Amino acid sequence: MISVLVLSLLAAPSAALKLQPPTVKTTGNSYVLILSPQLESAAAKYVDDHPGIRLATFTDTREGDEVRKMMAAGEIQFPYALWKDLNRDGLLDVVLVFISKKVVNQWAWHDWFIVAFHGTSAATFVPVAITKTQGSCLDSLVPHKADDWVEFSCFGVAAGAFRWNGKTYEVKAMMGD
């Protein structure tokens, strides 16, 4: 009986292995973010719980050529997503950007919501709101490996950043022109 239990524990895959990162598919001159079923479910629930927003897509960037160059160079994974172990618990975390469905000012800008989805040992994702950028543009999330900061910016106009400080997300608000 004990040997069966040991074998089943050894054969059972780790829940962390079930947390799959997003993938990016090329479609012509654009890119599409493909979410794992667990992450898609968590993101859909987040949208359901926050009416008036949607997941940002590649076509929401105003700087497509610059973003394409950054993706080709490996500087970013996707303009509105990144995935790594942000909170240093050994599990995959994914940051997604959501956008207001309606424009909020005369420049046709939106509100942007940056949300981390922390991976759990139960192979699910739990959303943690990081920051909201009101009435501006947002073109990418750029991870800085040296200091764990992730920059979010509207190219040439403004930039902010965030990082996990061990307990919560520390945020430098978007500032610029």
Tens-digit pLDDT profile for residues 49-105:
999 999 999 999 888 899 999 999 999 999 999 999 999 999 999 999 999 999 888
Q: What distance lies between CA 67 and its chain's CA centroid?
A: 16
For residue 112, give its domain range: 17-136
Inside any domain, residue 12: no
Token couple for 55 = 């997941």
Confidence at residue 177, expressed as pLDDT on a 0 to 100 scale? 64
Asked whether residue 37 is domain-assigned, the answer is yes
Separation CA 49–CA 46 (nearest Å)? 5
Using alpha carbons, select from 85, 77, 73 the residue that is nearest to residue 142. Answer: 77
| Closest CA relative to residue 54, chosen from 142, 113, 95 | 113
Instruction: Please tell me the total count of domains within the chain.
Output: 1
For 104-160, the pLDDT digits (tens) are 888 888 899 999 999 999 999 999 999 998 878 899 999 988 888 999 998 868 899
Query: Is there a domain that residue 53 lies in?
Result: yes
In a domain? residue 151: no
Residue 159 tokens read as: 């930039």
User: Is 167 part of any domain?
Assistant: no
Read off the tokens for 151. Answer: 């920059």
Residue 51 lies in a domain: yes
Tell me: pLDDT of 4 over 80. no
CA–CA separation, 64 and 25 (whole Å): 15
Query: Sorting pLDDT into bands at 50, 70 and 90, what band is 18?
Result: confident
pTM: predicted TM-score of the whole model, two decimal places: 0.88
- pLDDT beyond 90 at 40: yes
Tell me, yes or no, whether 5 lies in a domain: no
Environment class of 68 (CB within 10 Å of its CB; exposed 0-12, middle 13-18, buried 19+): middle
Tell me, yes or no, whether 166 lies in a domain: no
